[in-house]
Structure 1
Amino acid sequence: MTVYHFVGIKGSGMSALAQILNDMKYDVQGSDYEKYFFTQKALEEANIKILPFQKENIQPGMTVIAGNAFPDTHEEIEEARKLGVPVIRYHKFLGDFMQKFTSIAVTGAHGKTSTTGLLAHVMKGAKPTSYLIGDGTGKGEQDSQYFVFEACEYRRHFLSYFPDYAIMTNIDFDHPDYFANIDDVFSAFQEMAWQVKKGIIAYGDDEYLQKIQAKVPVLFYGFGEENDFQARNVVKETTGTTFDVFVRNTYFATFKIPAFGDHNVLNSLAVIALCHYEDIDLDIVKERLATFEGVKRRFTEKTVGDQILIDDYAHHPTEVKATIQAARQKYPDREIVAVFQPHTYTRTQAFLNEFAESLRLADYVYLCEIFGSAREHVGKLSIDDLQEKIDGSRILNEDDPSILETHRNSVLLFMGAGDIQKFQQAYEQFLAQKNQ
């Protein structure tokens, strides 16, 4: 039996795919840097072997699945080619793999991971469903009918996929190290739309998605009247959100979700629309929407003393704004403190003013050094450039996070896509030592 060897198994998509193949009883192992990464917990629990990178890991008879972050010159990939072992890039393998199921791609500049997680949770309540979520979670059911997966637009990777359905949550300018501008982003989504085989569920209040053309039906969802699926009478409470759904202006049903902010209403609408199209039982959809606990690193809460600490992946101004607004809905009487680590110099440079604008929605702002990426050249930009644009903001030092303790009874939002978690851990350790 073929052994699948993953080069870069701790990557969020890679670890999820490894879990899926392992669940389906394939022989799976992988290699990566020895540094701890949050995705490895699930791999370890599944007893999937994780090795340090070295060319000796590659043996004849294997199939190598290579992570997108690793070049063809990587020692294991070079060794595989030398031995004649097949090397398949992650997105290419995934594109072939999904042909066995009714596949649903979830894509968009924001909300992909949360919507993929929500859709998988709802669908598996009705039918055997396998899923791959960008937070490193993957599950393979041997008799799956559906395959729900997150499809990323970065470097146009999602063009490897020809899914039955696509949910498109929005089009926004991001990844400025790759995309030239918003029109370049739109062209990638338009190309993806031509590849969808059965139907597209798109956010209709997005001016770019309204222009999408396709060979299949496009159903729109949103708050605006002209959408096929419209949310009305939205009631926001500290326990969650309730809303009515109208299908082509006719009342359909009322839903309650234990989530906060408009973006979570929209994610739910996308899922409701897809389930309606696939004739999934309405009672199951209602019950599953009401029991969804969220995905990793998306508004992940913990109470420490009189403070609420929230870990969130928000790394674009639109996401930062949505996260702060969600915190305001759930905790209207508490002070909201943003602790933000920008992710990549190119993104920070491109959105300097927009980041400042979004962060000003918090009561206090702390900034952490920019988390650079191996794929960019560092210019003169520094965290001070962002700090200058936000009155009263301060730089947070990982070695001394004690200043955060002065915000009694507040909500601390740790936001970023880099290693912002180390700042939260440092603060929790400081509190633990102090209270010993």
Structure 2
Amino acid sequence: MNLNKINYFYFLGIGGIGMSSIAKYFHLIGKKVFGHDQNKTLLTKKLEKEGISINYNDSISFLPKCVLSKECLIVYTPAISNNNKQWIFLKKYGKNIKKRSQVLALITENELCIAIGGTHGKTTTCTLLGHILYSAGMKITAFLGGISENYKSNLLFNKKSKIFLVEADEFDHSFLYLSPNIACITSLDQDHIDIYPTKENLKKSYIDFSNRIKKPYRKIFLCKEESLRAKNSIYYSIIEKKVNYYSDHLCIKENKWYFDFHTPKETWTSLPLPIPGIHNLKNVTAALAISDYLKINKKEIKKALFLFKGIKRRFSIHYQKKKIYIDDYAHHPTEINALIHTVRKCFPKKKILGIFQPHLFSRTKFFEKFFVKSLEKLDILILLDIYPARENPINNVNSNNLLKKIKINYENKEISTLSKVLEKLKKKHFDIIITMGAGNIDTLILPITKWLNKQYRDEKK
């Protein structure tokens, strides 16, 4: 398909983090963009403010007239409900229909493309790499899986881009549409059980992805700690020193994290780790390795690292006075373990209250015993109902059954709805609050922050 011949775009599920960046991209290059989503969110409000028309009712009467034209491309997310009336109608009568991942592949197929994949860490790696290249003056467009705190956006845009940076999403085998010149695989941990029932299924898909790397460059950056090996690979590590790039000497000074980074030619000492945690050292090492490989000036890389402000919902500190409040996207046991470990390192001997919203019935069922072990690392737990996203309920898979297996003192664990969380928080004794999850738990950020600000202010009076 020739995107130059498409003048109209209609996005089904435009509020998704991946969908919204592509919608914004087409809007910025002068295309007419429309969209539909179930809920009005901060992301959709921002798109509307920028001039994109969005409807929030799935009735076909809300569809724009152009949607059945050959000049219109209908872009959908796999997360769209099969019961959505607009989706049912457009599947039957739409002329051009593509998945989000297919459209991303069309945008980048004839361009120099860098793709960052991996079960964990791809958004952090991609956002930092995008920031380094963008601030170094490279003509780059980057589609990010999170909101960059530096740019307040999930899209870095240059109309004359010579490099396109994207996240290679393994869900629904989406990344197998991409054919990047440079790729990176940050981690190979089992997830998306509905797509990959075994780790071998997942590994095979990543091998298939690594075989799609093309010239020029044709290089893939692999974390040595993972089990994947591939041709044309460049390895990085935070443990193994006999690799192309590695980081070591991680230390904490006055609650700030520092490390040394080794290239094939030299060592860069006492670099700041902008997002704390050993897991984030891996992500930062990957971004620095790719930047150095692309021959970005060392001073520019260091400057960008010092100025990096992070990503929304990745160890985001919203309050830090008498109490501490951290929000994070962690929704997999490995991510929860890493988050709690990092909080303990940053704030030792503090009592941690965690609010967790499980995401997907299939993930909760498959990783149940791992979720139990992860959540037991908290001092106090408030467990929310499972966020279903695209799934239907599974028998006996629910938060009540999960809570029963978690060996936290009975008085220190309970179930709550989103609307009741604040009420329950007011009765708890804690030093730190962590909200964790990939669903709509982010709607708690503002009310919790407001409550802490008010409580602290009132206590001072």
Fold conserved between structures, TM > 0.5 = yes
* Counterpart residue number, 2:33: 28
Note if 1:200 corresponds to 2:207: no
On the 8 A contact 1:104/1:163 being kept in 2, the answer is yes
Match of 2:169 among 141, 149, 152: 152
The C-alpha deviation readout for 1:183-222, integer Å capped at 9, x for no partner, is: 111111011000012111111111x22xx223x3333333
Q: In the comparison of the two structures, how many residue pairs are matched?
A: 431
Q: Distance in 2 between matches of 1:112 and 1:187?
A: 19
| Counterpart code for 2:336 | V
1:167-206 equivalence runs, <5 A: 167-197=184-214, 198-206=218-226
Aligned residue in 1 for 2:295: 279
Q: Is the 8 A contact 2:247 2:260 kept in 1?
A: yes
| Structure 2, gaps ≥5 residues long | 1-5, 148-153
Matches within 5 A, 1:260-339: 260-303=276-319, 306-339=322-355
Question: Which of 121, 128, 135 does residue 146 from structure 2 map onto?
Answer: 135
Structure 1 unmatched runs, 5+: none
Picking from 419, 426, 432, the partner of 2:440 is: 419
- 1:366 is aligned to 382
Q: Distance in 2 between matches of 1:28 and 1:296?
A: 26
What is the rounded CA distance, in whole Å, between the counterparts of 2:83 and 2:424 in structure 1?
Answer: 45
Give yes or no for contact 2:132–2:300 (8 Å, CA) kept in 1.
Answer: yes
Structure 2 CA distance for partners of 1:77 and 1:400, relative to 1, 3 Å: closer
Tell me, yes or no, if the aligned pair for 1:238 and 1:331 is still in contact at 8 Å.
no
Q: State how far apart, in whole Å, the 2-side matches of 1:58 and 1:296 are.
A: 36
* Structure 1 residue 238 displacement after superposition: 4.8
Q: 1:366 to 1:237 in 2, by over 3 A?
A: farther
Deviation, structure 1 residue 362: 2.5
Is the alpha carbon distance of 1:227 and 1:357 closer, same or farther for their aligned partners in structure 2, counting shifts above 3 Å? farther
1:400 aligns to what SS in structure 2? Answer: helix
Find the aligned partners of 1:151 and 1:123 in 2 and give their Cα distance: 18
Query: Does 1:88 pair with 2:92?
Result: no
State yes or no: 1:3 paired with 2:18. no
- Bigger Cα displacement from structure 2, 391-400 vs 172-181: 391-400
Query: How many Å separate the matches in 1 of 2:313 and 2:267?
Result: 34
SS at match of 2:141: strand
Contact kept? 2:29, 2:159, Cα under 8 Å: yes
Partner of 1:164: 181
Is residue 2:375 matched to residue 1:375?
Answer: no
Q: Are 1:77 and 1:87, in contact at CA under 8 Å, matched by a contact in 2?
A: no
Deviation per CA, 1:39-86, whole angstroms, max 9, x where unpaired?
224313422211233433252232222222237885445555666632
- State how far apart, in whole Å, the 1-side matches of 2:179 and 2:358 are: 33
Taking a change above 3 Å as real, the CA distance of residues 338 and 72 of structure 1, as seen in their structure-2 partners, is closer
Please list the CA deviations of residues 201-248 of structure 1 after superposition, one character each: whole Å capped at 9, or x if unmatched: 111111x22xx223x333333322233211121112354321112235
RMSD (Å), alpha carbons? 2.6
Q: Quote the offset at 1:383 in angstroms.
A: 1.5
CA drift at 1:284: 0.8
Identity %: 25
Query: Quick one: which of 40, 43, 46 aligns to 1:42?
Result: 46
Q: Aligned with 1:134: secondary structure? A: strand
Secondary structure of 2:115's aligned partner: strand
Any conservation in 2 of the 1:219–1:228 contact (CA below 8 Å)?
Answer: yes
User: In the alignment, which of 388, 391, 416 is matched to residue 397 of structure 1?
Assistant: 416
Runs of 4 or more, structure 1, over 4 Å off, are: 71-75, 77-84, 406-409, 423-436
